[in-house]
Chains A and B, each alone.
Chain A
C-alpha cells in the first residue's frame, strides 16, 4: 500500500526573486525519481489549505531531493517559510516524467521561469549518457533567473530575458530560431517546460520538422492522484488526459495547447 511520506527540510535557500529551493531528506523513503516528476505537498496541517501543492523535483541524488517553487499565494508563501528541520507531508514522487530515449543524439532543453527546475535532473541524466545538449533558459529579468551555473555542467547554456538584463533580450523561441536557422543547429529531441504560451510557441515552431519532443505541463491540481479530473489537458483523442498522472510530461504532438 502507498502512503504519504514525511520528509525533513535539510536546506532552505532563496535562489532568485520570489524563488525558493528546499532540499529534502528522502533517504530510505524514496528510492528513485524520474526527471519531471513532482511532489504533492500538504500546506500546514491541511485545515486551512485543503489542496496540496504540486512542486517539481529539480534534482535527486541518492535519496536527497531538491524542489524549487515560486511564491504565488498563501500556500507557497507558507512553504517558503519551512526552514531546516521542518517536516513536510508529501505524496509522491507523482506523475510520468520525461522519457530518456536511447535515440537522443543531440538534445534541446528549453525552460521558462518556474518551468526550469524539472529540466535539471533531465539534463543531468542525458549529459551522463554523453548526449550533447543545448539549453535555453528564459526569465522575465535577471532578478528572477536561476540555475544557469547548474545547467552549464551539462550543456551549452543560452540565457534569455524579456528585458535583456541577462543574456539575449527576447523570448526562448527567438533563441531557438537563432540557433536553428542562423547557426544551423539541429536536434533529434527537444524537452520543454514553461508557460503555456512558450510551449505553444515551440509546438508552432517545430510543426513541420522531423523532431521528437516532450512538453511538461503545469495545471491547477486537486487530488494529484488521477481521481478528480481537475488538472486535465486537451489531447487529440476523444477524452482529456490528466496532467497529474498521465503527465505532466506529454509527447509534443499529442497535446492541444
Chain B
C-alpha cells in the first residue's frame, strides 16, 4: 500500500498536511510527533512586515466549528526566514510557505524572499483571508484582480505556486480558472467562510472585529462541493480542505478529486489529529484493498 502523492512536482509521503494558520511554524506540534510523519507542513501566513493582527477576542467556538479573526498575525518575512524556517527545514518534511500581503508589491516581496531563500518547497498564495481590511480576500474574489496578482508573482516564484481560494464568492470556479490561467501550479481550497456569533448577554458580537472565518466540521459539505466543482473545471491539482477531522473525511475529498488534503481546526481539538488521519487513511485503504490513492482519486466525479 502506498499513500504517496505527487503534487505539482512535489513528492509527498502522504496526502495529509496541516492548514495554514492552524499549525504555526510547526514547533508546537513537533513536541507531539515528528513532523516527518506529515505529507508537508503549511506555515502560518507570512507578510512583508510583522503584524499584531486583530484585537481579541479573536477566536471563539460556535456550533459545528469555530470562528477566528486572527488577522495575519506573524513576525514578518525576514524574521520567519531567520528564526523559523531554518529549524523547520531540519524536520524532514516538505515546507509550503503561505504568503500574504496588502498590496501586489508586498505579495511580490514575500514570494521573492521565500523563493530565493531555498528554505521552502512551495509557496501558497493567500488570497482568501477574510480577516483583514486590505489584501487577502480583496484579491481573491475578483477573478481579474486575482489574475493580475498571480501574473505578478509568478515569475518571482521558482518553486511550485499554489493559490488558496476563498469560498466567499459566487462562483469559485471563476477564481480557480483565473489563477490557473495566470500560471498557478496548484490550488488549495477552501479558506474559511465569513461568519459571526453574538453574545446575547452583552448584546455584542463575540469577536472584537465582529465577523470572522468559520471553520470546522460544519463547513465540510460546502468545502467538498467546492473541491468537486473546481476539480472538474481546472487541470491543475487541488488541495482540499474544510472540516476534515477523520481519515474518512479525507478520503471523501480525495474521491472528489483532491490531490492532497489539509487539516485545520481538528489540530486544536486533538494535537495529533494529522497523524491519526494518516493512520485512518491507511486503514481504509487496507480494508478496501486500495493499493494507491490514484485508484480512488476523483472516482466520485
Binding site for B on A (CB under 8 A): 1-4, 42, 46-52, 75, 91, 219-234, 238-240, 245
Among the listed A50, A232, A234, which residue makes an inter-chain contact with B269, where contact means beta carbons less than 8 Å apart? Answer: A50
Q: Are A223 and B70 in contact (CB under 8 A)?
A: no
Q: Does B66 contact A (CB under 8 A)?
A: yes
Q: Are A50 and B59 in contact (CB under 8 A)?
A: no
Given the known A-B contacts A227-B22, A232-B73, are A50 and B31 also in contact in the complex, defined by CB atoms under 8 Å? no
Q: Does B284 contact A (CB under 8 A)?
A: no
Q: Does B298 contact A (CB under 8 A)?
A: no
Q: Are A230 and B32 in contact (CB under 8 A)?
A: no
Closest chain B residue to A43, Cβ basis = B61
Q: Does B60 contact A (CB under 8 A)?
A: yes
Q: How many Å lie between the Cα of A219 and that of B55 in the bound state?
A: 11
Question: B75 contacts which chain A residues (CB < 8 A)?
Answer: 239
Q: What's the minimum C-beta distance from B255 to chain A, rounded to whole angstroms?
A: 22
Per-residue A-contact encoding for B266-298, CB less than 8 Å = 1, 0 else: 111111100000000000000000000000000
A220-B57, A220-B60 given; name 14 further pairs at CB < 8 Å.
A46-B270, A50-B65, A50-B266, A52-B268, A52-B269, A219-B56, A222-B59, A224-B268, A227-B27, A227-B267, A229-B73, A230-B68, A230-B70, A232-B56
Binding site for A on B (CB under 8 A): 21-24, 27-29, 31-33, 44, 50, 52-53, 56-61, 64-66, 68, 70, 73-75, 216-217, 265-272
Among the listed B52, B57, B65, B70, which residue makes an inter-chain contact with A239, where contact means beta carbons less than 8 Å apart? Answer: B52
Closest chain B residue to A73, Cβ basis = B61
Q: Are A222 and B28 in contact (CB under 8 A)?
A: no
Closest chain A residue to B269, Cβ basis = A46
Closest chain A residue to B79, Cβ basis = A239
Pairs A–B under 8 Å by Cβ, sample size 6: A46-B269, A50-B266, A51-B59, A219-B57, A227-B23, A228-B22
Q: Are A231 and B56 in contact (CB under 8 A)?
A: yes
Given the known A-B contacts A1-B31, A51-B66, are A222 and B44 also in contact in the complex, defined by CB atoms under 8 Å? no
Q: How many Å lie between the Cα of A238 and that of B66 in the bound state?
A: 28
Among the listed A1, A42, A230, A234, which residue makes an inter-chain contact with B59, where contact means beta carbons less than 8 Å apart? Answer: A230
Q: How many Å lie between the Cα of A220 and that of B21 in the bound state?
A: 17
Chain B interface mostly helix, strand, loop or mixed? loop
Question: B267 contacts which chain A residues (CB < 8 A)?
Answer: 223, 227
Among the listed B21, B33, B60, B269, which residue makes an inter-chain contact with A228, where contact means beta carbons less than 8 Å apart? Answer: B21
Among the listed A2, A46, A49, A222, which residue makes an inter-chain contact with B68, where contact means beta carbons less than 8 Å apart? Answer: A222
Q: What's the minimum C-beta distance from A93 to chain B, rounded to whole angstroms?
A: 14
Question: A219 contacts which chain B residues (CB < 8 A)?
Answer: 56-57
Q: Are B59 and A75 in contact (CB under 8 A)?
A: no
Q: Are A51 and B268 in contact (CB under 8 A)?
A: yes
Q: Are B271 and A50 in contact (CB under 8 A)?
A: no
Q: How many Å lie between the Cα of A42 and that of B61 in the bound state?
A: 13
Q: How many Å lie between the Cα of A82 and that of B108 in the bound state?
A: 53
Question: A239 contacts which chain B residues (CB < 8 A)?
Answer: 50, 52, 73, 75
Given the known A-B contacts A4-B270, A50-B216, A51-B66, are A225 and B53 also in contact in the complex, defined by CB atoms under 8 Å? no
Given the known A-B contacts A50-B65, A227-B22, A227-B24, are A42 and B269 also in contact in the complex, defined by CB atoms under 8 Å? yes
Question: A224 contacts which chain B residues (CB < 8 A)?
Answer: 268
Q: What's the minimum C-beta distance from B71 to chain A, rounded to whole angstroms?
A: 9
Q: What's the minimum C-beta distance from B115 to chain A, rounded to whole angstroms?
A: 25
Report the 5 A-B pairs with minimum CB-CB distance, sorted nearest first.
A230-B59, A227-B24, A46-B269, A225-B28, A227-B28
Q: Are A229 and B44 in contact (CB under 8 A)?
A: yes
Question: A232 contacts which chain B residues (CB < 8 A)?
Answer: 52-53, 56, 58, 73
